[in-house]
Amino acid sequence: MFHKILVAYDGTEPGNVALRQGADLACVLGAELHILAIVVTTGGLLLDPAVVPGDLLAAERQFLLGAMTEAVAGLEKHGIAAITCIRDGDPADEIIAYALEINADLAVVGHSAQGLLARWFGSSVGTRILATMPCSLLVATDSSLLPAPE
């Protein structure tokens, strides 16, 4: 069924949910697990060094490296091995490109509930991934992370 599973990981709680679900599937199916983190270097504000200094991108890379190292250590305690990668760029482009490179059968991404303004101002990463992902896609959610109904 699934032989190579790619988890898009960002160290957030939705990313942790995606990692848990992706790792569980990899374990049950005996699949190869890949974990990809992306230092976002695209977007209007990121192009202006007066707004976003280079050391902020270095700090983001360091955060992702630490989060990924901790996540992999946790997986190894449960006997799960993972291949890791950190890339710079646009999240949707990098997730899709990496899925193609490793010939992934399944990509797992976390879902975070955002308000209308955040979605409008933010990039349409989810939409682009959904439209062009070269493999099956699992959007991992944790009901405790979703906003309460009004």
pLDDT digits (tens, 9 = 90+) for 19-35: 999 999 999 999 999 99
User: Could you tell me the end-to-end alpha-carbon distance of the chain, in angstroms, rounded to an integer?
Assistant: 39
- Whether 60 and 91 have beta carbons less than 8 Å apart is answered as no
pLDDT digits (tens, 9 = 90+) for 84-135: 999 999 999 999 999 999 999 999 998 876 544 444 445 567 788 888 999 9
What is the residue whose two structure tokens read 């160290």? 11
pLDDT of residue 51: 58
- Work out the percent of the chain whose per-residue pLDDT is above 90: 63
pLDDT of residue 130: 85
| pTM for the whole structure | 0.84
CA atoms of 115 and 104, how far apart (whole Å): 31
- Work out the percent of the chain whose per-residue pLDDT is above 70: 79
Residue 143's pLDDT band (boundaries 50, 70, 90)?
low
Nearest to 22 by CA among 105, 129, 133: 105
Q: Judge whether residue 144 has pLDDT over 80.
A: no
Residue ranges covered by each domain of the chain: 1-6+32-90
Which residues does 135 contact at the CB level (< 8 Å), separation at least 6? 6, 99, 104, 105, 106, 107
